[in-house]
Amino acid sequence: MRTSPVIPVLVIEDAATARPLAEALVKGGLRVLEVTMRTSAALDAIREMKQVPGAIVGAGTVVNTDQFEQVMKADAEFIVSPGLTERLGDAITGSGVPFLPGIATAGDLMRGLDMGLTHFKFFPAETSGGLKALKALAAPFYQAKFCPTGGITLASAPEWLAFGPVLCVGGSWITPKGASMEQVEALAREAAALAR
């Protein structure tokens, strides 16, 4: 979470685009890449991206233990989930792989802390009350660190990153549909330059 201020949240429809995309993002300064499990190409995309020097490739939108097993076979280096269940959380924490579960409430945070977790994805960030809500949530949970994701933009990211418990943000704005690899690299460079 401290490697880059922004983790690109990637929905990849065609695995053939995965390696050039990873190369553009890494060249732009964003090494931590989250490939969401929202498409049939996701597992192949993870394998392709892992071949790019410097890329740290993980799986996002992991919602059950079957998906967890699949992404581990694809050698995902970290796991992100939109929420937190005990079954999924126990499987992932037991494996030792870095895990960033989604939370939106105090109950979610308490469940995660009970499982020994201290780093969370605040999701969906903007529709869950934005930075004001995260500040209120973070206050009683001083040990927790966050990666807000969902509705974050280049314009709003600096304000999120200025809040101490936020180590990075997740964003899809870096890879807009139809963008060239040169455009992606430029957007990555802009995001990588954001101060924390």
What CATH number is given to the structural domain containing 136?
A: 3.20.20.70
**Residue 87 falls within a domain, yes or no?**
yes
Q: What is the pLDDT of residue 157?
A: 98
Q: What is the pLDDT of residue 74?
A: 97
Please check whether residue 46 is in contact with residue 67, taking contact to mean a CB–CB distance below 8 angstroms: no
pTM for the full predicted model: 0.96
122-170 tens-digit pLDDT = 999 999 999 999 999 999 999 999 999 999 999 999 999 999 999 999 9
Please check whether residue 150 is in contact with residue 123, taking contact to mean a CB–CB distance below 8 angstroms: yes
Per-residue pLDDT of the chain (196 residues; tens, 9 = 90+): 999 999 999 999 999 999 999 999 999 999 999 999 999 999 999 999 999 999 999 999 999 999 999 999 999 999 999 999 999 999 999 999 999 999 999 999 999 999 999 999 999 999 999 999 999 999 999 999 999 999 999 999 999 999 999 999 999 999 999 999 999 999 999 999 997 5
**Residue 142 falls within a domain, yes or no?**
yes
Per-residue b/e over 22-45, b at no fewer than 16 CB within 10 Å? Answer: bbbbbbbbbbbbbbbbebebbbbb
End-to-end Cα distance, the chain: 12
Catalytic: which of 23, 34, 48, 185? 34
**Residue 19 falls within a domain, yes or no?**
yes
The CA–CA distances, whole Å, from 63 to 46, 59, 82, 103 equal 17, 11, 7, 13
**Residue 152 falls within a domain, yes or no?**
yes
Q: What is the pLDDT of residue 71?
A: 98
**Residue 131 falls within a domain, yes or no?**
yes
Report d(CA 37, CA 125) in Å as an integer: 19
Collapse the DSSP code of 33 into the 3-class scheme (helix H, G, I; strand E, B; otherwise coil) and give the result: strand
**Residue 1 falls within a domain, yes or no?**
no
Q: How many domains does the chain have?
A: 1
Q: Is 121 a catalytic residue?
A: yes
Catalytic: which of 23, 48, 50, 121? 121
Please check whether residue 61 is in contact with residue 38, taking contact to mean a CB–CB distance below 8 angstroms: yes
- Residue-range definition of the domain harbouring residue 65: 6-192
Report d(CA 52, CA 55) in Å as an integer: 6
**Residue 89 falls within a domain, yes or no?**
yes
- Cross-strand pairs, 148: 122
